[in-house]
Structure formats: C-alpha cells, structure tokens
Amino acid sequence: MSVKRAMLESVYHSSFVDEEGITKACGCPLLPLKTHIKGPAPVSDQDKIDIVDEAITFFRANVFFKNFDIKSPADKLLIYLTFYINVALKRLEGCRTLAVGTKAIINLGLEKVPVPGEPGFPFPGLFSVPRSQDEAELFRNYLKQIREETSGRLLNCAYRPNGTPNKWWLAFAKRKFMNIVVL
C-alpha cells in the first residue's frame, strides 16, 4: 500500500488518551470542556484544545470514513460528536441566515437525548448500557452539555461573520458518516 493511500485511509483520532482522574459514564470519559454551559463536564482551560475542538477540526476529514478504528475511549466520543455535527449541519442546510440557523440549532438542542439502550441512540454497542438510572442521567446530561457546546462553536464555522452560510462547511451536510442516514 502506498503512503498516500495509507494517509487517505487513516482517520484522525482523539489526543485525549490519558484517562487518569477522568470520570466515566457508559464507558465514555466525561472529558473537560471549554464551556460556560451548565452540566457535569469538568471545566477546561480556555487556552487548551478540548474534545469539541478536535471534533470540529477533524470533522471534514473523518466524515468521509465508513469505518473508525477506536484507539481510546475518547475516540468513541469523537465518533459521537462527528455524527452530531453531521446531524446539526443537516438541520442548518436550508438556513440562509445565522439567525435562522441559530433557531434550528436551538430546536435541535431541545430534542430528547437518548442514551445507550434507548430507542434512537445512533451507535448501539459503542457505549455500554448504563448500570443505573443515575449513570444514565449523568451520561444524558453530559451529552446534552457537549452537544450544546458543539452547536455553538459549529455556528461560528457554518456561518461567516456577516451571517451568510459558509458553503465550505454546509456542503458536508450531504455526507453520510459511517453510512448512517441523517434525517
């Protein structure tokens, strides 16, 4: 296999491989976030890269892959966020202004967030089923928080400063990540 071909077939993985001191829920590390949004995530330093930064940075490359070799538990979260970004872009696809896009993203944020074992969870088997109701609620709240944070940052990518759509981002709404059809 040529080096060029190997590079084309390699997904970007999360740099968050050190899990020491990190709480987990459903087999997922609850990684720190640069956020002001209330939730269970520990707060990260504003000058450090977090998992949301990685997901947005790697999205346009990773969305092309049909398979994703998991090298760390943080990769599971990266997969989930890549899928969520795909869903969010699909919702933004027809929104011609930042104001309309913001409303669409807020509506997405109001939807119920399923956890493993519940109908509608996009990746059965990726995360373990919660062992208790407390673990399920902890994971649900973390997913809500990380989705809301991702949505806010994504709006800054999907729309230019003048409020018009950025076609270099919204074009990716047509992609299917891991062959999952987004409705």
Mean per-residue pLDDT, 35-60: 91
Class of domain 3-179: mainly alpha
Residue 141: what pLDDT? Answer: 97
With cut-offs at 50, 70 and 90, classify the pLDDT of residue 70.
Answer: confident
Residues 141, 135: Cα–Cα separation, whole Å: 10
Residue 152: what pLDDT? Answer: 93
Domain spans in the chain, listed from the N-terminal domain onward: 3-179
Token pair belonging to 100: 């309309």
Residue 183: what pLDDT? Answer: 43
Amino acid sitting at position 128: S
Residue 72: what pLDDT? Answer: 85
pLDDT in tens, 120-179: 898 888 899 999 999 999 999 999 999 999 999 999 999 999 999 999 898 887 766 555
Residues 22, 19: Cα–Cα separation, whole Å: 5
Residues 127, 151: Cα–Cα separation, whole Å: 22
Angle between helices 98-110 and 73-92 (to 10 degrees): 130
pLDDT at 97 over 60: yes
